[in-house]
Amino acid sequence: MNIGFKEWTLVCQALGRGEQSIILRKGGIAEGRDGFRFKHDEFFLFPTLFHEQLSKTKLPAGTPLPAPEPGSVQIQYSARVEWTELITDPAMIAKLAPFHIWKNEVIDERFRYDDLQGVHLAFLRVSKLAPEWTFPDEPKFGGCRSWLNLPDLPPQTLQVPVLNDAVHRAREKALRDLLK
């Protein structure tokens, strides 16, 4: 079974361009009583699109939002979680800013949402799929949840890391040094 992780389209693109290597997540409405956690070590980035997401990022105002093909899902990237950490210090939100495209207010809102303050950080190794994986959209992919069961990946699909090992490890070191 193939697992998909729902994330903003613009964040998927930033991960795929190598501009960021982390995901910060509080969790979706449908995460259940146990709340959110990175329960899968490997997954495909399932892009979600809503028009307000650009205003919630540090990207320039004119950044185009992609227009997905109606009735289909296009998966361009896979991710492997190398490590996770629960961020519970609110001062860390501003310090993490160089590592992602979200505005600090968005992360702060996620941090403070509900009684358990904090956000989950996952450090990822992202790969580009070749060719892009396209399959029909279905109602079961909707809703406010993070994890999805996807159809079978075509066997000829290649997965190529978006960052070389040196850049990836340097980014990891910078992030680990920040989190000490």
Spell out the SS3 assignment of 58-120: CCCCCCCCCCCCCCEEEEEEEEEEEEEEEECCCCHHHHCHHHCCECHHHHHHHHHCCCCCCEE
Domain that residue 80 falls in? 2-179
* CA angle (10 as vertex; 56, 108 as ends), nearest 5: 35
Q: Is the pLDDT of residue 138 over 90?
A: yes
Q: What is the mean pLDDT of residues 69-86?
A: 95
pLDDT at 32: 54
Confidence grade of residue 113 (pLDDT, cut at 50, 70, 90): confident
Interval 142-158 mean pLDDT: 92
48-67: pLDDT as tens digits: 988 789 999 999 988 988 88
Q: Report d(CA 142, CA 174) in Å as an integer.
A: 36
pLDDT of residue 36: 73
Domain count of the fold of the chain? 1
- Which position has the higher pLDDT, 70 or 129? 129
pLDDT score for 58: 96
Residue type, 96: L
Average pLDDT over residues 153-171: 97
What is the per-residue pLDDT for 33? 54
pLDDT > 90: percent of the chain:
76
Q: What is the pLDDT of residue 135?
A: 97
pLDDT for the residue 31: 54
pTM tops 0.95: no
Per-residue pLDDT tens digits for 28-47: 555 555 567 788 999 999 99
